[in-house]
Structure formats: structure tokens, C-alpha cells
Amino acid sequence: SGVQTLPHNAKVHYNYANFLKDQGRDSEAIYHYKTALKLYPRHASALNNLGTLTKDLVEAKEYYRRALHLNPQHNRALFNLGNLLKSQGKKEEAVLLLRDSIQYGPEFADAYSSLASLLAEQDELKEAEEVYQAGIENCPESSDLHNNYGVFLVDTGSPEAAVSHYQKAIQLSPSHYVAMVNLGRLYRSLGQNKDAEAWYKRALKVARNAEILSPLGALYYNTGRYEDALKVYREAAALQPSNRETRLALAQVLAMMGQTKEAEKMTNHIVTEEAECLECYRLLSAIYSKQENYNKALEAIDKALQLKPKDPKVISELFFTKGNQLREQNHLDKAFESYKVAVDFNPEQAQAWMNMGGIEHIKGNYVTARSYYKKALLLVPNSKLLKENLAKLDRLEKRLQEVHERR
């Protein structure tokens, strides 16, 4: 009614645009911000808000710059332009703008979080810590700031210190399910599974979404509660059917529970959507192996290798898996070669050293077998199986020595 009564009043159009923006009616809000600017071209806040709504990054940048030209101390325009430049990789410019945003708005909690996370990305950890602490001092009631500081503390190796900040975030905002999930992840990393499960379940009372269900499903899967994991992942996949990671996790649980046909179908469907899904081929290899279809298992691993992953540990795992498939088919020489490539890419792949020792053991090359077993034992000194294999070698060599002496 205000717009109808006062169609030439810039402030009325601006206020109505703010209302529309809050309602998610972006295209209508843009129209009224632009109308406000036609009536009053020096409206810096209208320019800033237009920048937040437009999908064209070049256009957004121009709106922010115009807003700052009119008001160089407009802390939200500084913040928005800083984040835009940050997303474009222009980190030095972004840092300067975010610093200014804090200077002109010391109670603007989001600016502290954004600046601190950017500094952390650049390994300026001491400075990032100082920014977080300054933010909490100036914005003690910001639950998001406490949560983000908790994430920073976990990432920098101080999980115990993070607990109080996650708890403070929840105290300030009892529906802050992100902090609850973060607290769950933290307890999970500390091996406190009951506490982790409790926090995930508390978060689900606030919002039942895939972002909460997935880590709960992972907890169940990794602690052998496959039925619970299956139920949780099915719900997560139903809520977010386009999420590849969730469907892949569900397929993995199905495979583990012996429901390999459904797991295979689901994984192959993901491959049709994304042909370069390396994890899909790894899972398919495991599924075919479980079905004792070792030729198809080998094909899947070869497809994964054709994607040429860059991480040496991933390459090592793939060649190790390939070695296992070949060994199942009794192609011991080829299996040995695959294990050899695996340890070339990752010398800490203990199981590959052990399997190489096992192959040499079978072939009667006891001296070589012992050397491989010993390399494996250095990596896993408490391996009962390795010690048993070495003991078997000792007995074999002792018998051979006795036979030699009798001759």
C-alpha cells in the first residue's frame, strides 16, 4: 500500500524490496531496489542488496563498488565484495576488504568468520586465531562465530578446546544443528561413539536432513551396525536422491550386507550419470569380488586406473586390490607385479608387502619371503599373522637344514 500511495518515494520502494528479499521473492525485490535507485541514485544500501541478489558476478561486483564509492565505510558492501573476490581467488584484495568491514562494523560477526577462514586457508593460523578471538570478544552472542571457531580449533589440532565453543553455540542457539553435528563428528574422532550418536540424534530432532543422517550412517557402518546404517542411508538417499556420495554409501552398506545385486544396480546407475566416478569402480570391484566374478572385478579396477588418479595412495590401493583379484585367480606372478607397483607408490602398504612375502613363500623362495615379511612387520609390529608366517618359515628352514645335514 505504501508503494501504491507513494510511488515516487525511494525509501518505500527500498523497504518493500527488503521485505520481498526476506520472502525469497528475488526478482520482485530486484525491481523495487532498481526503482529506489532511479528515484535516489545515491542509495548505497540498495546497491549493496542488489549485489547480493544478482546472479551475474560482474554485475554484482559493480553494484558493490558503486555502493562503496557512495559510502566507503559501508561494512556490508565491504564484506560482500570481499567474499566475492575470495570466491574468485583474489585473496589479498579480499583480506583488505574484510579487514575494513570489521573496522567499520566491529559487531559484524560474519566478517570475523569470513576473514579468519580466509587467513586459515593461507596458513596464517596465528592471525586467524586472533581474528576469531577478537570476533568472540566483540560478538559474544554469535552462535555461528563460536561454531566456526570450533571448526578452526579441530582443524588445527585442538579438538578438546573446540568442545566448549560448540556447546556455547548450542547454548546461544538451541536449534543450531550444524554445531550439534560438528560436536558429533568431534566425539566420533575421539572414539566416543555413544556421545557422537547422541549429538547426531539431537540434531535430527531439529532438522531431519541428509547432512545429519549421513554422518550417523557412517558411524553405524564403521561400528558394524549395518542394519541401522542401511535404514539411515535409505532415508538420506530418499531426502537427497541426487547426492552421489549418499547413494554410494548406501550401495556400500548393501554390498557389505550381501545384497550385491541391488548394490551393483545402484552403483552402475551412478556410473551412467558420472563416468569418471573412481569410487564407483572401486565399489563395483568389491561387489564383483564378493560375487566371485573376479574377471569383472579386474575390469572395474582397470577402469578406475584408466581415470589416472593423482594421489599416490589411491593408486597404491587400486594396484593392491588388482593384486588381490589376480591372486584369487591363482595368477601369482601377475599378482606379485601388482603388489610391487602398490608398494612403489606407497611403501607403507603393509598388506602388499605381506602378500608379496606370501607369494614368495608359496613358491619356495624363503629368503625373499622373509625379507618381505620383515618389511611388513616394521609397519605393523603387532601383526599376529605376520609373526605366524615368519614362524612357519623358521620351521621350514629348520627342516630343510636337518635334511641337508642328513645327506
Which residue in 262, 261, 259, 306 sits closest to 282, CA to CA? 306
Average pLDDT, stretch 368-393?
92
Report the chain's mean pLDDT, rounded to a whole number: 92
- Distance CA(312)–CA(3), nearest Å, equals 63
Type of residue numbered 282? R
pLDDT at 400 over 90: no
- Distance CA(79)–CA(113), nearest Å, equals 11
Domain ranges of the chain: 260-347, 355-407
- Distance CA(288)–CA(255), nearest Å, equals 10
pLDDT at 407 over 80: no
- Distance CA(298)–CA(324), nearest Å, equals 9
pLDDT at 380 over 90: yes
Q: How confident is the model at residue 399, as a pLDDT?
A: 80
Q: How confident is the model at residue 396, as a pLDDT?
A: 84
Reported for 338-345, long-range contacts at CB under 8 A and 24+ positions apart, including other chains, are: 341/316, 342/316, 342/317, 343/316, 345/312, 345/313, 345/315, 345/316, 345/319
pTM above 0.75, yes or no: yes
What percentage of the chain reaches a pLDDT higher than 70? 99
Q: How confident is the model at residue 405, as a pLDDT?
A: 67
**Please, what sign has the CA dihedral across residues 130, 135, 140, 141?**
negative
Judged by average pLDDT, the poorest of 53-57, 226-230, 278-282, 349-353 is: 53-57
Task: Determine the 3-state secondary structure of 375 from DSSP.
Answer: helix
Q: Give per-residue pLDDT as tens, 12-29.
A: 989 999 999 999 999 999
pLDDT at 106 over 80: yes
Task: List CB contacts of 267: < 8 A, sequence separation 6 or more.
Answer: 248, 251, 280, 283, 284, 287
Average pLDDT, stretch 77-81?
86
Q: What is the CATH number of domain 260-347?
A: 1.25.40.10
Average pLDDT, stretch 158-171?
95
pLDDT at 89 over 80: yes
- Distance CA(230)–CA(373), nearest Å, equals 38
Q: How confident is the model at residue 336 (pLDDT cuts 50, 70, 90)?
A: very high
pLDDT at 292 over 70: yes
